[in-house]
Amino acid sequence: MTRRVFPRVRGILLVAAVLLPLLAGCGYHVVQPGSKGTELAGKTFEVKLFANKSFRAGIEAAVTDALVDELVTREGQRVLEVGGEYVVSGTVISYGRSTVSYTATDEAKEYRASIATEAVLTRRITGQIVWKGNVSAYQDFPANTNAALQQNNEAAAIRSASLKIAQQIYLHLTENF
C-alpha cells in the first residue's frame, strides 16, 4: 500500500512545486509608459526650446524636436505650443566628438557623437518640479574624407543620439513605481 501512495504524493508535490511559484508571483509587473496608471497619461505638455551650453550650434533644436516627436508619437500625450499642463524644459550641457576607431594607417575610421542634457518637468499651475535629471546618449558614425559627407554623418549621429535622449526623458517622465 505504501508503494502505491508514494508515487501519487510525489506527483502532487511535483505539480505543486511547479505551479506554486507561478501562482504566487513576486508582485512585480511591467509598467507601460504613458499607461493609465501614470499621473501623466493623457496630459498636455509644453516643450520649451532647450538651452545650449555646448559649442555645437543648433544641437538644442535637434534635442527639442526629438522630444516633441517622442511625446507626440506616444499614446495619450499631446504637445501644445503654449499652455500645457506640464512644461518640459532643459539644457544641452555638452556635446563631444571623439574618435572611436582607426584604420591600419592610423586615420580615423569612426567617430562618436556624445550629448549630455539636463531636463526638468514642471507642473504649470503650481510651478512644482515633478522630475529633474541628467540624460546623455551617444551615437557612433563613420569617418569620411569628403567634408560634406562627414558633416552629414555627424548630423545623422546627432539626430540619433537626440532620439535616444528623448526616449530616456520620456521614460523618466512617465515612470510609475
> What 3-state class would DSSP assign to 97?
strand
Distance from C-alpha of 48 to C-alpha of 73, rounded to nearest angstrom: 18
pLDDT value, residue 102: 93
Q: What are phi and psi of 149, to 5 degrees?
A: -65, -35
68: nearest Cα among 59, 57, 55, 77: 77
Q: Grid coordinates in use for 149?
A: 559627407
Distance from C-alpha of 162 to C-alpha of 140, rounded to nearest angstrom: 13
Evaluate if pTM is beyond 0.85: no
Query: pLDDT (tens digit, 9 = 90+) per residue, 116-130?
Result: 999 999 999 999 999
- Write out the E strands in the chain: 44-47, 51-52, 78-80, 86-102, 108-123, 129-142
65: nearest Cα among 80, 50, 75: 50
> Which residues are registered as beta bridge partners of 115?
95, 137
Q: Grid coordinates in use for 112?
A: 562618436
pLDDT value, residue 17: 56
119: nearest Cα among 133, 103, 136, 99: 133
In contact, 60 and 51? CB cutoff 8 Å: yes
Query: pLDDT (tens digit, 9 = 90+) per residue, 33-78?
Result: 444 446 666 788 889 999 999 999 999 999 999 999 998 887 667 7
Amino acid at residue number 37: G
Which fold does the domain 31-173 belong to in CATH?
Double Stranded RNA Binding Domain (3.30.160)
- The mean predicted confidence, pLDDT, of the chain is 82
> What 3-state class would DSSP assign to 114?
strand
In contact, 71 and 45? CB cutoff 8 Å: yes
pLDDT value, residue 16: 55
Query: pLDDT (tens digit, 9 = 90+) per residue, 137-156?
Result: 999 999 999 999 999 999 99
